Every structure is written in C-alpha cells, then in structure tokens.
C-alpha cells in the first residue's frame, strides 16, 4: 500500500531531481512558445509538488498560470505565489473555466492518465482523449508541452536479453514484477502467456543472471528503482508508455505540429546500476515534445 508519507517522499524526489532532468527544459520551451505574448495563459496539468510551475513562474513572470490536479493535498500545498488559479479534478473533465490557454503542460502526467483510465487502460485511447481535449482548450497556435518516459523503439524490443542483476532481492522483485504487472486490453486478448513471462535463470552465468525481454526489463527497472515503499504506486503505472515516434504520431493525429522532440536517458542509468550491471539501451528513456496547435 502506498501511504501519504511514501507519496511525500515521491514528491520530494521528483522535486530534487528537477535540475538534473528534462523537467527543467519545460519552462524554457514554454517561454519560447509564448515569448511574444503580453500575458500568456498557461495550464499546468498535474501540478504535483509545483516544481514545474515554479520554473515557469521564474522564467515567465508575466504569465497567468493555472494548475489542476486530482490530489487535493497537492492543491492545498501548492507553492505560494506561483499559481493564479488552482482546480481539483480530472483534466479530461475540465472546461477551462471559460479560459483558453496559450500553453498546456503535461510533465509526466499523460502516462498516469493512461495507466489509471477506467477503459482502454495502457492503450492510446485515454491519452488521445486528453490530447484532443488539450487541443480544444488551446488558443490557435498554442502549444502542448509534454515530458514522458519512452518505450523501447528498437525492432528487437520484445527480444530476450541477459540481465546481470546485483542482488537476490532484485531477482525476486523481477519475478514479482512479471507476476503483478497489469495488462492492457490488447495484451489480455493476445494471451497472457505472451506477457506473463517468467524470467529464466542463466545456468552458466553469474549468481543472479537471467534472461528477460528487453521491453519488460526497462519497465521493471523504472518501477523497482523507486524502491519497495513505492511499489504499490509504481506497479500500477507504465512510465515507458510509448516510443518517441508513437508520441509524435499521436500529437500529429490530434491536431498538432511537432516542433520539438528532445530525447535523453537523464540520470536513470545511474539509478539502474544499483539494480543491474552493464545496462545498455539502444533508445533514450525520456522525451520532451512540443506540439503546436495547427489552427
């Protein structure tokens, strides 16, 4: 179970990592998009600790910044003097309060919308719905600024590779991950035996060497790096939701022109090394995308 104390720890880590991650790029690209406006209206979706809102306020002091979050504690504890208006609720149900925005920010939020959707969980449908709603709430020429984890983009994403885990605990948590990982509708219809794979130990390898599909390994590492106290939260989400190309395609199909596509692995390899030896990936782990509304 994820407790309030664990959630505060989660928020603190997200805040402390701001300067060393692509989250710090969000205010910059937002400022570039609205630099010619006297009072840009900006909506921060899923404010969390408010760290992105603080960055936007510092870089765009003339902005009118709105924030929305489903968690009342986040709204109640939002940093002072950052947001001009705060709303508790689901973004998909928010009508903007009569406002239209010049920029809408989704910092590690869209994968949560997809992960907790009542229908179409882990598919593109709930995220498509959110992006189409963003397009409706934006002024002509407004932008959606998105930061999200990236799925493996290699054609070999589903192929097995050898993982050299560091500890017995890491091996046991990999088994637990594969057993508890929620499935999408497509995965369920395709047969759970295809995704509920049980990693195989390597007979001639190191003590905790095993064979596991590359894409499952990435998801596991992004989940387990947060530790056991956050397991109840992280196992129910997929941070590595789509490849960079899929994010671009979704934006384009929802009425946006992609004007920025930045990809990075950030600090994740450093954290992963506590779990696994010699982790290598052929594709970045995090992307920042800016889509400009076409009309």
Among residues 216, 138, 230, 150, the alpha carbon closest in space to that of 183 is found at 216
How would residue 295 be classed by pLDDT, with cut points 50, 70 and 90?
confident
- Cβ contact 60:31 at 8 Å: yes
pLDDT given for residue 189 in this prediction? 72
Reported pTM:
0.90
| Arithmetic mean of pLDDT, 164-187 | 92
pLDDT given for residue 158 in this prediction? 83
| Arithmetic mean of pLDDT, 226-237 | 94
More confident residue, 283 or 256: 256
How would residue 192 be classed by pLDDT, with cut points 50, 70 and 90?
very low
pLDDT given for residue 180 in this prediction? 93
pLDDT given for residue 21 in this prediction? 84
User: What is the tens place of the pLDDT at every residue in 211-221?
Assistant: 999 999 999 99
pLDDT given for residue 171 in this prediction? 96
- Cβ contact 40:63 at 8 Å: yes
Q: Are strands 64-69 and 41-45 parallel, antiparallel or unpaired?
A: parallel
User: What is the tens place of the pLDDT at every residue in 12-63?
Assistant: 554 556 667 899 999 999 999 999 999 999 999 999 999 999 999 999 999 9
Domain map of the chain by residue range?
A: 4-151+241-269+283-293, 160-234
Q: Which of 14-23, 94-103, 175-184 has the lowest mean pLDDT?
A: 14-23
| Arithmetic mean of pLDDT, 235-254 | 96
How would residue 191 be classed by pLDDT, with cut points 50, 70 and 90?
low
Pick 4-151+241-269+283-293's CATH classification: 3.40.50.720, 3.40.50.10540, 3.40.50.150, 3.40.920.10: 3.40.50.150
Q: Which of 27-41, 217-231, 248-262, 273-287 has the lowest mean pLDDT?
A: 273-287
What is the percent of the chain where pLDDT is above 90?
77
Considering the chain, what is the average pLDDT of its residues?
Answer: 90
| DSSP states of 152-220 | --STTTTSEEEEEESSHHHHHHHHHHHHH----HHHHHH-GGGTS--PEE-TTS-TTEEEEEHHHHHHH
User: What is the tens place of the pLDDT at every residue in 119-129?
Assistant: 999 999 999 99
Give the contacts of 76 (CB within 8 A, at least 6 positions apart). none
pLDDT given for residue 5 in this prediction? 44
d(CA 209, CA 175): 13
- Cβ contact 172:180 at 8 Å: no
d(CA 147, CA 108): 5
| Arithmetic mean of pLDDT, 107-122 | 94
| DSSP states of 238-271 | -SS-B-HHHHHHHHHHTTEEEEEEEEE-TTHHHH
């Amino acid at each position: 179970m994820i407790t309030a104390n664990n959630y505060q720890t989660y928020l603190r880590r997200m805040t402390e990592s701001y300067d060393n991650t692509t989250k710090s790029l969000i205010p910059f690209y937002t400022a570039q998009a609205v630099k010619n406006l006297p009072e840009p209206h900006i909506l921060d979706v899923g404010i969390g600790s408010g760290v992105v809102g603080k960055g936007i306020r510092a870089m765009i002091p003339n902005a009118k910044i709105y924030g929305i979050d489903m968690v009342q504690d986040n709204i109640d504890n939002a940093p002072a003097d950052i947001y001009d208006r705060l709303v508790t609720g689901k973004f998909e149900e928010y009508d903007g309060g009569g406002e239209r925005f010049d920029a809408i920010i989704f910092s590690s939020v869209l994968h949560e919308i997809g992960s907790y959707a009542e229908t179409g969980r882990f598919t593109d449908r709930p995220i498509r719905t959110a992006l189409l709603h963003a397009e409706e709430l934006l002024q002509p020429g407004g932008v959606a600024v998105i930061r999200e984890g990236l799925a493996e983009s290699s054609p070999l994403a589903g192929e097995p590779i050898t993982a050299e885990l560091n500890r017995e605990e890491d091996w046991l948590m990999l088994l637990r991950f594969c057993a508890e990982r929620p499935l999408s509708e497509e995965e369920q219809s395709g047969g759970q035996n295809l995704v509920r794979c049980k990693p195989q130990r390597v007979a001639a390898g190191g003590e905790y060497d095993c064979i596991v599909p590359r894409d499952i390994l990435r998801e596991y590492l992004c989940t387990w790096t947060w530790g056991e106290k956050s397991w109840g939260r992280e196992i129910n989400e997929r941070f590595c939701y789509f490849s960079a190309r899929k994010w671009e395609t979704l934006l384009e199909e929802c009425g946006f022109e992609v004007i920025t596509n930045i990809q990075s692995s950030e600090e994740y390899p450093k954290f992963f090394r506590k779990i696994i030896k010699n982790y290598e990936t052929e594709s970045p782990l995090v992307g920042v995308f800016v889509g400009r509304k076409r009309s």
